[in-house]
């Protein structure tokens, strides 16, 4: 049962019994009131999408009952017709058909290694053609609500990208299927929708699947639609490292109780039992030492492979750069550049001559005349400097009394001096 609430709808819940009856009743013929039919269909589509999102499920059988909390005594008899219109418009797709479409999209994406502008709408368009026969009384199968699935898959993508269980190799990150399932379970996504979320992410190039036969496990590469050959070996090596590390930790956990047990047997005076426990302890220590040696070898091999992968990336980048440089230099030559610079120089001289003509031409003064004028200017300046240097200025302060003071001495001093004196 899918439980929904009208509180999820925009606006306050409608408690009008007449409106409940109209909304839950089967559709009337479209020709009577097409606007009312479309509004009623939109109401139920929004309510269905809201209920599925709250339940975190995108796959459900059409026969599953729906419980509207605000209308406990009202049974939505209109739902079969609502589902039929949703199937015709591609808003509901049969589970088998949807998985086929995802596989085809994934295969096309791997083939082209690009998105090709793929979005969810092409799936809906193709579904309109492929699923016109899907309704017709056979409503027992499961159907997918693509809108809800897309929202849930994007939230799963965010959680996977932030998971501490992922591990890095080169420029990409990886995560095991077991850890993915743990994330989906912690998000309370329904089991029927979990696998479909992962298929959606792979179909859209958000991650790719790698099956490792030697580890009997599945690993996802995050953020890429392809697995390179070297990366497969690196992933297998990384999982082996994790397995060895986990085994070492398990053995180390067993060592401490055995040590305590040996001490206890000795304390009780039972040397035979103590020797047996000691043998077990020494065997475990030997295994730990051996596995630590394996760990060093694996770490060294991993580092070598990562360096090799990085070298390949560098060589590929250098090749692309050399190719681009070669293409850019095809349209260039030293002679062409020299001719271009010579033409620019000639055009510059021509512009200077034109500017001289427009300014009135050359006044016709020779270099000798210009030098003579410069010498005259310099001589005048030297004479002026010599005259200024010959002037003497007295240090005695001069006192000029006021002419109106009546002082005869001042008046006498104020009189002009005759030339005879």
Over residues 17-62, the pLDDT tens digits come to 777 788 888 888 888 888 888 988 888 888 888 888 888 888 888 8
Mean pLDDT of the chain: 75
Domains in the chain: how many in total? 2
Task: Give the count of beta carbons closer than 10 Å to the beta carbon of residue 86.
Answer: 21
* Confidence at residue 128, expressed as pLDDT on a 0 to 100 scale: 36
What is the band of 152 on the pLDDT scale with cuts at 50, 70, 90?
very high
* Confidence at residue 391, expressed as pLDDT on a 0 to 100 scale: 66
Residues 65 and 50 in one domain: yes
Mean pLDDT to the nearest integer, 193-217 = 79
The domain in which residue 183 lies consists of: 2-222
* Confidence at residue 215, expressed as pLDDT on a 0 to 100 scale: 55
What is the band of 233 on the pLDDT scale with cuts at 50, 70, 90?
confident
Say if residue 300's pLDDT is above 50. yes
Residues 237 and 191 in one domain: no
Query: Range with the lowest mean pLDDT among 58-67, 136-145, 175-184, 189-198?
Result: 136-145
In terms of phi and psi (left: phi > 0; alpha: psi -120 to 50; beta: otherwise), the region of 29 is beta
Residues 154 and 276 in one domain: no
Domain boundary among 188, 222, 256: 222
Say if residue 320's pLDDT is above 50. yes
Residues 91 and 207 in one domain: yes
CATH number at residue 268: 1.10.287
Which residue do the tokens 């067993």 mark? 254
Which residue do the tokens 């990085």 mark? 310
Residue 369 lies in a domain: no
Task: Give the count of beta carbons closer than 10 Å to the beta carbon of residue 174.
Answer: 24
Residues 172 and 43 in one domain: yes
Closest by CA position to 184, among listed 361, 369, 58: 58
Domain boundary among 187, 222, 257: 222
Task: Give the count of beta carbons closer than 10 Å to the beta carbon of residue 219.
Answer: 26
Predicted TM-score (pTM) of this structure: 0.54
Residue 45 lies in a domain: yes
Residue 339 lies in a domain: no
Residue 258 lies in a domain: yes
Residue 68 lies in a domain: yes
Say if residue 122's pLDDT is above 50. no
* Confidence at residue 299, expressed as pLDDT on a 0 to 100 scale: 81
Percent share of the chain, pLDDT over 70: 73
What is the band of 421 on the pLDDT scale with cuts at 50, 70, 90?
very low
Residue 40 lies in a domain: yes
Task: Give the count of beta carbons closer than 10 Å to the beta carbon of residue 412.
Answer: 8
What is the band of 420 on the pLDDT scale with cuts at 50, 70, 90?
very low
Residues 164 and 121 in one domain: yes
What is the band of 409 on the pLDDT scale with cuts at 50, 70, 90?
very low
Residues 164 and 273 in one domain: no
Say if residue 140's pLDDT is above 60. no
Residues 26 and 90 in one domain: yes
Residues 52 and 155 in one domain: yes
**Residue 3: which residues within 8 A CB-CB, separation 6 or more?**
51, 54, 55, 66, 67, 69
Strand partners, 167: 174
Residues 243 and 214 in one domain: no
Do the Cβ atoms of 57 and 195 come closer than 8 Å? no
Domain boundary among 180, 199, 222: 222
Say if residue 410's pLDDT is above 50. no
Over residues 376-395, the pLDDT tens digits come to 777 777 777 777 776 665 55
What is the band of 151 on the pLDDT scale with cuts at 50, 70, 90?
very high
Using CB atoms within 10 A of its CB, is residue 93 exposed (0-12), middle (13-18) or buried (19+)? Answer: buried
Residue 381 lies in a domain: no
Residue 391 lies in a domain: no
Strand partners, 212: 217
């Amino acid at each position: 049962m899918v439980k929904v609430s009208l509180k999820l709808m925009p606006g306050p819940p409608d408690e009008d019994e007449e409106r409940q009856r109209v909304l839950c009743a089967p559709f009337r013929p479209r020709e009577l009131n097409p606007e009312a039919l479309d509004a009623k269909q939109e109401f139920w589509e929004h309510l269905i999408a809201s209920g599925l999102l709250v339940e975190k499920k995108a796959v459900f059988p059409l026969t599953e009952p729906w419980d509207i909390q605000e209308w406990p005594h009202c049974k939505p008899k209109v739902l079969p017709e609502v589902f039929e219109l949703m199937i015709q418009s591609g808003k509901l797709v049969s589970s088998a058909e949807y998985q086929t479409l995802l596989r085809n999209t994934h295969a096309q994406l791997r083939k082209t290694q690009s998105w090709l502008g793929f979005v969810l709408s092409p799936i809906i368009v193709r579904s309109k053609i492929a699923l016109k026969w899907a309704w017709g009384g056979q409503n027992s199968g499961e159907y997918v609500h693509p809108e809800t699935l897309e929202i849930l898959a994007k939230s799963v993508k965010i959680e996977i990208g932030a998971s501490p269980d992922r591990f890095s190799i080169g420029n990409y990150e990886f995560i095991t299927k077991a850890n993915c399932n743990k994330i989906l379970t912690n998000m309370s996504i329904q089991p029927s929708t979990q696998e479909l979320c992962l298929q959606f992410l792979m179909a859209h190039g958000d991650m790719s699947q790698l099956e490792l036969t030697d580890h009997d496990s599945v690993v996802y590469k995050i953020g890429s639609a392809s697995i390179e050959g070297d990366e497969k070996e690196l992933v297998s090596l990384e999982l082996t490292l994790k397995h060895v590390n986990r085994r070492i930790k398990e053995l180390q956990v067993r060592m401490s109780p055995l040590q305590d047990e040996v001490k206890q047997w000795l304390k009780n005076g039972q040397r035979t039992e103590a020797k047996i426990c000691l043998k077990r302890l020494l065997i475990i220590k030997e295994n730990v030492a051996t596995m630590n040696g394996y760990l060093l070898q694996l770490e060294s091999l991993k580092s070598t492979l990562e360096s090799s992968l990085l070298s390949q990336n560098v060589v590929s980048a250098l090749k692309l750069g050399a190719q681009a440089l070669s293409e850019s230099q095809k349209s260039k030559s030293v002679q062409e550049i020299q001719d271009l610079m010579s033409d620019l120089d000639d055009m510059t001289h021509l512009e200077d001559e034109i500017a001289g003509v427009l300014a009135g031409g050359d006044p016709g003064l020779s270099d000798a005349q210009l030098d003579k004028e410069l010498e005259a200017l310099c001589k005048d300046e030297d004479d002026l400097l010599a005259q200024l240097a010959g002037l003497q200025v007295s240090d005695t302060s001069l006192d000029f009394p006021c002419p109106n003071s009546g002082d005869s001495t001042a008046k006498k001093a104020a009189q002009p001096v005759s030339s005879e004196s």
